[in-house]
Amino acid sequence: MKLDQFKRRARLLLAAFAALLSGCTTYVTTQVTAFSDWGNTSDATRTYAFARSPSQENSLEQSTYEQYVANELATLSFKQAPATAARYWVGLTYSIKSDMATVSQPVYYAPPVWGPFWRPIDPWGPWGPYPSGYVTQSFPVFTHTLGIRITERATGKEVYNVTARNANDDPSLVTSMPYLVRSALTDFPAGNGAVRTVKIAVDKNGGASNEVAVPAPASAPGAAPKAAQ
């Protein structure tokens, strides 16, 4: 098989695999797991401050992600407040992990070009319609994870802990963060032990669109604190 044909097949394979990971070519699909003991129903007391671990202090990356979360919490009637006046601490953890995905694809060889004595191809011969072998292709896959943990400031009681995770071929965590944040807080507060899949559309500029996130039905099993572990 010609080199350019192989490259074209590899690109198509990568595109198909990326589509599989994201659910489709126009959505980002995120797996969300939540644990909840949310008993507060008064919007007036939804005040919070961000809790930071020592490694998150003075971090521009942390500040950026906190702003994403603050914007989403505002849509849920949460209000930021000074640490001494906030009812809740909101802690964040985040990570990106790389792995290699390996797939095999069949190899088809083009028939030889004969001279003036060209003859029909034997369908059962080496140039027939069946693959003569397989080529193994490996490429990186990146898993992005966000954890949001909400605790009561006065008692330290954990009232909400949610983890959002998605995977694609993008090595950047920051480009996935808007999807992770929106997915994590979709339908807040989710039931205790809820496990869901949330799809968010990608707009024409490649970012998260304003389309309402689509959660799948949930399933359930039965001093400043550190950020979510």
Give the per-residue pLDDT at 110: 57
177: how many CB neighbours lie within 10 A of its CB? Answer: 20
Over its C-alpha atoms, the chain yields an Rg (Å, rounded) of 25
Give 87's contacts (C-beta < 8 A, 6+ positions apart). Answer: 40, 45, 46, 47, 48, 81, 152, 153, 154
Q: Bigger pLDDT: 85 or 227?
A: 85
What does DSSP assign to residue 115? Answer: -
pTM of the model: 0.70
Helix, strand or coil, per DSSP, at residue 103:
strand
Which domains are delineated in the chain?
Answer: 24-100+140-215 (3.30.160.670)
Does the structure show a pLDDT above 70 at 74? yes
Does the structure show a pLDDT above 90 at 1? no
Does the structure show a pLDDT above 80 at 146? yes
